[in-house]
Structures are given as structure tokens and as C-alpha cells.
Amino acid sequence: MLLRHTPKEITERSAVVINPAKTCQPIGAMYAALGIQGCLPHSHGSQGCCAYHRSALTRHYKEPVSASTSSFTEGSSVFGGQANLLQAINNIFTVYNPEVIAVHTTCLSETIGDDLNQIFDKATKEGTIPKGKTVLGAPTPSYVGSHVTGFSNMVKAMANLAEPTGKKNGKVNVIPGWVEPSDMEEIKRLAKMVGADITLFPDTSGVLNGPLSGEYHMFPKGGVTVAELKGCGDAIGTLALGDWCSADAARLLDTKYKVPCRVLDIPYGLKATDRFIDALRTVAGTVVPEEVSYERGQLVDLISDMHQYFYHKKVAIYGDPDQVIAMTEFLVSIDMCPVHIVTGTPGKRFEKRIKELTKDSPFPVNVRHKGDMFLLHQWIKNEPVDLLIGNTYGKYIARDEDIPFIRWGFPILDRQGHQYFPTVGYKGGLRFLEKVLGALMDRMDRDAAEEKFELVY
Ligand code: SF4
């Protein structure tokens, strides 16, 4: 009982978070930056922040994550980090020669009040940014928001690179939100099948799930290029997958460059994937081919085969708002019952959306934004569930309460391979359902009396 001190009785707390269901902003900014081709993320703060953010990403993606730091000392903490960042930009282009440096701030540089744009202007005037190279920046103070906010801020900075020519290029911008590199690959595959020419940004596929080739490339081939980002302002439309991670960038392109945007859910499950495919088809003016309908039919078939085992099973789920909203819809659509739902990221609209999705639930539903794992555990103690879904941190609750557990979301620190398998799209839905049923039936087998231990279900 590792969490044996978690009491069943719930006391409302306003000033303390216990076992947060989120992490800090720069991790999201760093992940998004890795989705730009030839980009070195740069942490404008102390070395400790950068080391933590890099290791968090490395532990999840099982790939080396390179990033540089302004290496604040006591002096920069008092007088500001401008000199450090100017020196860093010079050193990075001289030593590592990336195409792009994507700078994000930290708690310390934000508290001091460092102005990234003013520092970039100075670097440009001093000639430390070589011709043809790009430096962009995002504010990511970690005392507000979460890693999700940091991701969104960096994606917005990417959209800000748009340089419209005034002539539409026929492409559709797709902002995938915080999903796995394999999900980004799957979104590109689906778009290709539908015949939509898309610019996906960020795009970490090929960066954090690339092959082992025997050669080291500090900047892998994957990622959206700066030229593609510049072309975003000429697109015929933008699809933002997820309100928290992607909508700000899409709205920026809409208001600034008149690129019409639609905010959709991450395409988890049948309904959200249908909406994504339909939106792609509509914006790109194409026709959905038979191959896509075939994949859809396979998911419908699997749902109908498995439905008897899913019916009215109670689920606790936690994670990032865009992901949890889309997954809650998927679970409800197969007649499972999410009853405890938590995100650590702020945003009251999360609770509103979840309540809408679960309004016909036969069981009472607990939902909380800015919640924590401690509260989730207490809810489970009061109303046990059949399945727990979320990142690695849930393993303590799963063990103490003896609940089947599916690792999903970020971070997954204690398992391997997740970065190679998509959850989005019809194919992703197949894989996810296989995992859910596997977890439920493993438990059935484990608990079955000998006379009820079946070979065939
Ligand atoms: S919370 Fe702030 S100080 Fe701590 S690692 Fe994150 S950015 Fe650095």
C-alpha cells in the first residue's frame, strides 16, 4: 500500500495540490519545438530546468532529446538573462548549426521580466542570427497553466512565422495537438488517403520515433520545415485538433491572415475520427475513398464484437484536457461509463464539456479541472472502478486499489513502444480497444474460479 495514507474522506482543498496531474510549461514547449525540422529547443533559465525537461521527454519517448540552456547564474538571476541568451544564440549557431532555435522561458526568466522579442531584435542587429536561420520564442512561465499551455504557446509562436504571399496555396493546416509521433504519422496517412495536401505542425514523427540506422543525426529528418510554416498563412483552412493545445495558433492564423479555422477534438474513436475526416474532405474539397470507409467498418465491427464486455464498465481517466475529452467521448460511445475524470490543467470549460458528454450516464460522474491524483484516488476509494486509464503515475493507485490499468497519455515512464503505435484514427481505435478488452479479460481470467476458467470467450 504505497498510498496507504490517502484517506477515503474528502476534504475540499484550495491551497495545496497533492500528486499533480500535470507538469511544467516548458516541457510542452520543448516537445512542440522538436516538431520543427532542424530545430534545437533552448531553455532560457537555469540548467536544472533544462535538465528536468529533457529527461522528462527522454524518459517518455526513449530517444535522446537535445536542448540548450541559457545557464542562469546568480548574476543573471539579478540582472536579467539577456547577455546569456545573446551568447547562447551565437554559440549554438556556431557549434551546432541548427536551422531553427526555439526559445522558451522558465519561471525564473519570466519573474525577472526578460523580453524575448527585444533580445531577438538585439541579436538580429548584432548579426548573431545567420542569414536564412530562424529564432522564435514562447513565454512559458510554469507558475500558471501546465505543460499543455507551454505546448500551445510554442505552437502559436510557430504560426506566427507565417508570411502570406496573398495567393492561396491549396494546402490545409492541421495542428494535431499533443499526441504521440505515431499519431502524427497516422494523421498524415489519413490526410493522404483523403487526398488533402496538409501542413502538419508541429510534427514530431520521424524525430522521436525514427529508425535505428547506425548513424547519429543531431537533427533527424522529420518535422515541419520553416518554409512550410511560412506558407501557413496562404492555406485554405486550418483544422485545430484540441481546444487547449491547438486552438490559439489556429485562431491567430484566422484573425491575422484570414485562414478560416475549425476547432475539432483529437480524432480518438469513431465519432471524432468521422468528424476529422469529414472536415478534411470539406476543406480540401475531396472525396473520402473506399479504403477509409473500409478501415471505419473494421472499427465498427470490432466495437460490435466487444460491446458485451464493455457495457456499463466504470472507468477512471485522467490526463491532458484535449486527450481526456476525446477519449471520454470514445468510451461513452462504446457504452463504458467514465465516472471519475480529472485534468491537472486549468480551464473550467473542461468540466462543462465532460458533463455534456456524460449527461446520460447511469452513474454519478465526478469531474475536475485543476485536479490532482490524490483527489482521483479518493474518488476511487468511494466509488470503485473497473478500469483506470492514464499516465504512469496512476500505477500507484492501480496497485493499491487492485484495478486493471491502461497506460495512455504523457508521461509513460515505465513501459516502451508507445511512441510507435497510434491511438488516433480508425486504426488507432482498433488498437486502443484491443488494449482495453485485454486488460478487462486478464482480470476476468485472474479472478475466475477454476470451474469458470474458460478457454474461449
Ligand atoms: S516549474 Fe519552473 S523552475 Fe521548476 S523546472 Fe519548471 S520552469 Fe523550472
Q: What is the pLDDT of residues 101-143, one digit of tens each?
A: 999 999 999 999 999 999 999 999 999 999 999 999 999 999 9
- Residue 426 alpha carbon to ligand 1 centre in Å: 38
Q: 30 to each of 24, 25, 56, 303, how far by Cα in Å?
A: 11, 9, 10, 37
pLDDT band at 457 (very low <50, low <70, confident <90, very high): confident
∠149-152-154 over CA atoms, to 5°?
Answer: 110
For residues 177-202, give the mean pLDDT: 98
Please name the residues in contact with 289: beta carbons below 8 A apart, sequence gap of 6 or more.
193, 194, 195
Please name the residues in contact with 114: beta carbons below 8 A apart, sequence gap of 6 or more.
44, 80, 81, 82, 85, 105
Q: What is the number of the ligand 1 atom nearest to the C-alpha of 27? A: 6
For residues 271-300, give the mean pLDDT: 98
- Residue 49 alpha carbon to ligand 1 centre in Å: 5
Q: What is the number of the ligand 1 atom nearest to the C-alpha of 107? A: 2
Please name the residues in contact with 323: beta carbons below 8 A apart, sequence gap of 6 or more.
177, 178, 179, 242, 266, 268, 409
pLDDT at 286: 97
Which residues does a 6 A CB cutoff place in the pocket of ligand 1?
A: 24, 26, 45, 49, 52, 106-107, 142
For residues 8-37, give the mean pLDDT: 96
- Residue 33 alpha carbon to ligand 1 centre in Å: 18
- Residue 109 alpha carbon to ligand 1 centre in Å: 10
pLDDT band at 430 (very low <50, low <70, confident <90, very high): very high
Q: Is residue 86's pLDDT more than 90? A: yes
Please name the residues in contact with 128: beta carbons below 8 A apart, sequence gap of 6 or more.
86, 89, 90, 93
- Residue 106 alpha carbon to ligand 1 centre in Å: 6
pLDDT at 45: 97
Residue 243 burial (10 A CB sphere; 0-12, 13-18, 19+): buried
pLDDT at 429: 98
Residue closest by Cα to atom 8 of ligand 1: 49
Q: What is the number of the ligand 1 atom nearest to the C-alpha of 53? A: 5
Residue-wise pLDDT for 208-240, tens only, equals 999 999 998 999 999 999 999 999 999 999 999
Q: Is residue 344's pLDDT more than 90? A: yes
pLDDT band at 1 (very low <50, low <70, confident <90, very high): confident
- Residue 419 alpha carbon to ligand 1 centre in Å: 25
Best residue among 49, 52, 151, 153 to mutate for probing ligand 1's pocket (most ligand atoms within 8 Å of CB) is: 49
Q: What is the number of the ligand 1 atom nearest to the C-alpha of 106? A: 7
